[in-house]
Chains A and B, each alone.
Chain A
């Protein structure tokens, strides 16, 4: 354990054998001993914990910074995980060896799969979770993760340095400054601040700054981000009041019992920690017209509902339900908060009325007549950063090596946060080891859809995962998340344990083998009818029918098929999971064949990368309309596929982009062929130019000149200095000149574009501004 000068409390450090010194001296000899990590994760919520552990799994020395260690793994809203669409995300997080699914399997008190009768592609794994257990298990896991250190402390600012030449971005993050003024350095930083960025809690007409009830918001950090040029928006969300369990009359309410057997979230678990008969029930009650009346009569006391901050189109609070769908009975689920918790969470009753009215409203509801409100419901308003400012690897366009994950990107929900956390953690780590980013495509997973939607389309309401958002829903199922992601996670990211990888490999080959065996068994339909009498197969067709087609029938499963054809099918029934998954594969086989074609098309477009440093506003090699330029500039799509999904980007623009991509590829190929010495010279030249760009002399903001400069050279504007900038600058001097109709050589001290003279002998004069001023004056 280390204690650092005023650095807050080091809670725990688990070391691997060889890597004992977690703290590295900064190369600056004058600097005091400053800790140095590969990855810093700010925030210990659902995104933060996943990010920190993912980075550590990838082999990065990671620091998790959080306000309070005892709130790590806190479920600050509903006491449940999963659901329709969200369960898919959890399976994918688990496939990448993330935490939340495994911890839910150890902490649930009521496991239920939703949509059981609607087809396995849309099954929604869900569980009520014991908050206390979840937090305990999560903290245990976090504190026992190798390479991961946890520290308490509030981050006030980011330490920024000059950008890496080979990447875009106007600067690079190299550490953080804590509230007490101490610093921690790192190669990558992940922000998972949730609702804490200028968070504001609203109850009735009262508002006070807080990230969560009882926690301080982050204001300094929000200001830093804004100063850096990030576009900030504001969202709101809410949570219902908590009710004392013993004050509810459950006997008159509908009881919902958990599934038997429970289906675990994690691929590595065959069962959950608790038997179905020991699990807790949920209860269902409904609102009534008196609830509507209270809401409508007290709108003037409810600033959260009145204000214009974007709320979602769906109904997060009882107020918006009543306002948008009056005269209806709305469901209220009474959910247990834990095994030994005295609280009940009334899902569906999220509200921001003044406290006394909350109690009044709740006691109108059947079963809650004598209910006691222990903690009032409240609304939270918070800053989020327009997610179009991040890449699909969740790194920001503006600041190199700065990653955002979770609610900060405008999402809502634990699962959405966890999914982004894993991806951010992996990529922060890959960035440190200079490996290519790990991006999940729309065709590979719900995670891909989530991140692609955010980064290309942005969001104006808290983004929640629905299965309807997913084009390839029949391929991206909860059952096959391991095949889709575990193998890639192992090979491309290194975030998956050997054991899990081997299990997924075994499952994949068994499935493939099973399917080909099922395809190879062919009998006439009448023979099938004899073998399996319950199957409703039509015997009129003369063509032979494959066993795989028979398995498609609802009434047939692997067991009945294996009974009919014991050899060679019997062995596939031994593993229950394998048998069930074969059945699912058979169900969707014919449709998946068609989806495969579409997926190919999407993947083809996604393979065409757009250059990262392309400046859409000024680039002349591509003919694009102004509107399209602005759209591309803001979203910065990374592939032709992503660009084509941005509304308003026309097919013609896409072709022009394609052409541009090809030209760039050719140019790059030519560059690579040029002799090495040339390259060195060029680098030296680059360095000089960069020094020029970053030297204080170039930074003063003289209005007229800066404005000129910014119009001519937007790469210098706040938020967009690319390395290309150093090259562009010379070229852009040309454009200075062309704009006024003169020639480059007419600027004293500057000759034709510097980039064409890689000898590096053309220094850019320090008095460039005065030269330009003179020039302008002419």
Chain B
């Protein structure tokens, strides 16, 4: 399908080639939906209260992916608990619930951004006639990891919902008398297996950078909490050192900043869902459109030997090495042409998001802005004479490709896979979707709780905020008992009469 026409009249000189001509910049631009930007704490409180009014005093509502992990045709996501109906209404943006126990086709969209997620079958089971005996909802969504992750995250953002613990659905069903004793025979084994899997998963993750981070945060938080608790329990009777609270305050604030930064940065699951943007850019007639056609395996763009064939930004969704990618072809960047092409160039620049700086930074070695990853691809490698000298040695790291012969395509795909994995998270290691939803849920919960920590006011309230925050973190790292707090108190302070 590659329709590369004949070569330019003059065989290009090597120097020429290296400086501008066949430069194709591939930038993986990160698209961060605005909705993920954390709401100010005040507005958060409001939503909580409104959800609370819906179901006062009842247990939490849980959700989980109920079908198997990995790619499949249909994935089933379940919720159980009093806020199930609320969650269903929010995700389907409908005022009314669908008829009970009837499959209905609904468009699910992200409550935060309104962005559509999937067209899915939803089933509404009002309690007690449901699997768990509570209000339940089933979402039968398309099985791609991106969709599943998106729906899970959307559910996690509904106030009152949290990811289910191992075996929690069955346990609820059992507690509500929905399972008979024989049915529950295998439950303990199942839970054992699930907890075991979770433990192993946690172990695997905890070896990694994130686990290290979480453990560090949990330690900091536990210590800060212990010191605040010590200040409450012993601050007046015993002499604690000066500045215990101030120190705790500093640590909590630092933790808040670190968590916030991490959450802003680590939205990889989000990218996996909406797809990473890959923008192909470069000078005219470098073969950008050919590359796009090659990668998407269909003639998306018209190609011709004439420079400036592409005048607009052409976007096409492709599956690159298992990652959903939105591939954009752009007009070649050059000055002094007709108004139509000029507009195309402007759009190309815009789509590349400050391309000028990107180009500049490529010239001056690797880009410092981590959110803009660049791959430097030199096309038309078939024009290089095998015995002649290679590309200029002072070029930044680059890949050689010939869209005509397909040579170097494998190398490019592998490099792209690596880049995408770094940006999106690698879906092939473990079953990270649920875990990721859990992580994000608890880290966000932790951050929210920390924002309520105001030691100058009621200290019992402040400590409660830290307790809630620590609860979220320790659900990721384990531990979290009161004894741990007391151990720190008695280790760090000389208290007691």
Closest Cβ of chain B to A487, distance in Å, is 19
Judge whether A347 is part of the interface by a CB distance below 8 angstroms.
yes
**Residues in B neighbouring A14, C-beta threshold 8 A:** none
Closest Cβ of chain A to B327, distance in Å, is 44
**Residue from the list B56, B171, B497 in contact with A348, Cβ < 8 A:** B497
Among B137-145, B305-313, B430-438, B454-462, the one that faces the other chain is B454-462
Are the C-beta atoms of B232 and A84 separated by less than 8 Å?
yes
Closest Cβ of chain A to B43, distance in Å, is 10
- For the complex, give the distance between the alpha carbons of A314 and B457 in Å: 28
Are the C-beta atoms of A655 and B57 separated by less than 8 Å?
no
Closest Cβ of chain B to A564, distance in Å, is 22
- For the complex, give the distance between the alpha carbons of A324 and B490 in Å: 10
Judge whether A360 is part of the interface by a CB distance below 8 angstroms.
no
Judge whether A571 is part of the interface by a CB distance below 8 angstroms.
no
Judge whether B489 is part of the interface by a CB distance below 8 angstroms.
yes
Are the C-beta atoms of B494 and A596 separated by less than 8 Å?
no
Are the C-beta atoms of B458 and A328 separated by less than 8 Å?
no
Closest Cβ of chain B to A540, distance in Å, is 10
**Residues in A neighbouring B45, C-beta threshold 8 A:** 590
Within 8 A of B (CB), among A282-332: 312-316, 321, 324-325, 328-331
Among A22-30, A117-125, A244-252, A732-740, the one that faces the other chain is A117-125
**Residues in A neighbouring B174, C-beta threshold 8 A:** 655, 658-659, 662
Are the C-beta atoms of A662 and B457 separated by less than 8 Å?
no
**Residues in B neighbouring A658, C-beta threshold 8 A:** 171, 174-175
- For the complex, give the distance between the alpha carbons of A161 and B76 in Å: 62
Judge whether B184 is part of the interface by a CB distance below 8 angstroms.
yes
Within 8 A of A (CB), among B222-269: 229-239
- Whether A656 contacts B495 in the complex (CB less than 8 A), given A119-B461, A121-B460, A468-B485, comes out as no
- For the complex, give the distance between the alpha carbons of A647 and B56 in Å: 32
**Residue from the list B59, B181, B229, B237 in contact with A597, Cβ < 8 A:** B59
**Residues in B neighbouring A593, C-beta threshold 8 A:** 52, 56
Are the C-beta atoms of A467 and B232 separated by less than 8 Å?
yes
Judge whether B32 is part of the interface by a CB distance below 8 angstroms.
no
Q: How many A-B residue pairs have CB under 8 A?
A: 148
Are the C-beta atoms of A651 and B489 separated by less than 8 Å?
no
Which A residue sits closest to B233, measured CB to CB?
A: A466
**Residues in B neighbouring A124, C-beta threshold 8 A:** 236
A646-678 CB mask vs B (1 if < 8 Å, else 0) is 010011110110110011001000000000000
**Residues in B neighbouring A122, C-beta threshold 8 A:** 232-233, 459-460
Judge whether A543 is part of the interface by a CB distance below 8 angstroms.
yes
Judge whether A135 is part of the interface by a CB distance below 8 angstroms.
no
- For the complex, give the distance between the alpha carbons of A85 and B236 in Å: 13
Judge whether B167 is part of the interface by a CB distance below 8 angstroms.
yes
Judge whether B187 is part of the interface by a CB distance below 8 angstroms.
yes
Among B8-16, B188-196, B205-213, B404-412, the one that faces the other chain is B188-196
- For the complex, give the distance between the alpha carbons of A541 and B42 in Å: 10
- For the complex, give the distance between the alpha carbons of A467 and B463 in Å: 11
**Residues in A neighbouring B56, C-beta threshold 8 A:** 593, 596
**Residue from the list A314, A653, A655, A666 in contact with B490, Cβ < 8 A:** A314
Judge whether A616 is part of the interface by a CB distance below 8 angstroms.
no
Which A residue sits closest to B232, measured CB to CB?
A: A122
Judge whether B464 is part of the interface by a CB distance below 8 angstroms.
yes
**Residue from the list A120, A348, A474 in contact with B464, Cβ < 8 A:** A474
- Whether A118 contacts B460 in the complex (CB less than 8 A), given A590-B49, A651-B195, comes out as yes
Are the C-beta atoms of B459 and A118 separated by less than 8 Å?
yes
Q: How large is the interface on A (under 10, 10 to 19, 20 to 34, 35 or more residues)?
A: 35 or more
- For the complex, give the distance between the alpha carbons of A604 and B60 in Å: 13
**Residue from the list B184, B489, B495 in contact with A655, Cβ < 8 A:** B184
Closest Cβ of chain B to A664, distance in Å, is 11
**Residues in B neighbouring A594, C-beta threshold 8 A:** 468
- For the complex, give the distance between the alpha carbons of A601 and B461 in Å: 21
Closest Cβ of chain B to A148, distance in Å, is 32
- For the complex, give the distance between the alpha carbons of A707 and B49 in Å: 64
**Residues in B neighbouring A325, C-beta threshold 8 A:** 494
**Residues in A neighbouring B497, C-beta threshold 8 A:** 78, 316, 347-348, 350
Closest Cβ of chain A to B180, distance in Å, is 9
**Residues in A neighbouring B487, C-beta threshold 8 A:** 313
**Residues in A neighbouring B231, C-beta threshold 8 A:** 118
- For the complex, give the distance between the alpha carbons of A329 and B494 in Å: 10
Judge whether A554 is part of the interface by a CB distance below 8 angstroms.
yes
B contact patch SS: helix
Are the C-beta atoms of B60 and A468 separated by less than 8 Å?
no
- For the complex, give the distance between the alpha carbons of A761 and B52 in Å: 63
- For the complex, give the distance between the alpha carbons of A303 and B237 in Å: 28
Judge whether B482 is part of the interface by a CB distance below 8 angstroms.
yes
Are the C-beta atoms of B195 and A330 separated by less than 8 Å?
no
- For the complex, give the distance between the alpha carbons of A596 and B459 in Å: 20
Are the C-beta atoms of B191 and A655 separated by less than 8 Å?
yes
**Residue from the list B46, B49, B191, B239 in contact with A331, Cβ < 8 A:** B239
**Residues in A neighbouring B191, C-beta threshold 8 A:** 651-652, 655
Closest Cβ of chain A to B479, distance in Å, is 11
- Whether A468 contacts B229 in the complex (CB less than 8 A), given A122-B460, A554-B457, A587-B458, comes out as yes
Are the C-beta atoms of B59 and A114 separated by less than 8 Å?
no
**Residues in B neighbouring A597, C-beta threshold 8 A:** 57-60
Are the C-beta atoms of B46 and A84 separated by less than 8 Å?
no
Are the C-beta atoms of A321 and B237 separated by less than 8 Å?
no
Are the C-beta atoms of B188 and A652 separated by less than 8 Å?
yes
Which B residue sits closest to A469, measured CB to CB?
A: B482
Judge whether A600 is part of the interface by a CB distance below 8 angstroms.
yes
**Residue from the list A114, A117, A120, A663 in contact with B237, Cβ < 8 A:** A114
Are the C-beta atoms of B460 and A464 separated by less than 8 Å?
no
- Whether A468 contacts B482 in the complex (CB less than 8 A), given A596-B57, A651-B166, comes out as yes
Judge whether A727 is part of the interface by a CB distance below 8 angstroms.
no
**Residues in B neighbouring A623, C-beta threshold 8 A:** 188
- Whether A328 contacts B494 in the complex (CB less than 8 A), given A84-B233, A659-B181, comes out as yes
- For the complex, give the distance between the alpha carbons of A587 and B460 in Å: 11
Which A residue sits closest to B170, measured CB to CB?
A: A655
- For the complex, give the distance between the alpha carbons of A62 and B181 in Å: 47
Within 8 A of B (CB), among A536-569: 541, 543, 554
Judge whether B389 is part of the interface by a CB distance below 8 angstroms.
no
- For the complex, give the distance between the alpha carbons of A699 and B45 in Å: 68
**Residues in A neighbouring B232, C-beta threshold 8 A:** 84, 115, 118, 122, 467-468
Judge whether A473 is part of the interface by a CB distance below 8 angstroms.
yes
| 14 A–B contacts from the bound complex (CB under 8 Å) | A85-B233, A115-B232, A119-B461, A315-B496, A350-B497, A466-B486, A467-B232, A468-B230, A474-B461, A597-B58, A608-B175, A651-B166, A651-B191, A659-B184
Given contacts A315-B496, A543-B46, 18 further A-B contacts (CB under 8 A): A84-B233, A84-B234, A115-B459, A120-B458, A122-B459, A316-B496, A325-B494, A331-B238, A350-B497, A468-B485, A587-B461, A591-B464, A593-B56, A596-B57, A604-B175, A655-B171, A655-B191, A659-B187
Binding site for B on A (CB under 8 A): 78, 83-85, 114-115, 117-122, 124, 312-316, 321, 324-325, 328-331, 347-348, 350, 464, 466-469, 471, 473-474, 541, 543, 554, 587-588, 590-591, 593-594, 596-597, 600-601, 604, 608, 623, 647, 650-653, 655-656, 658-659, 662-663, 666
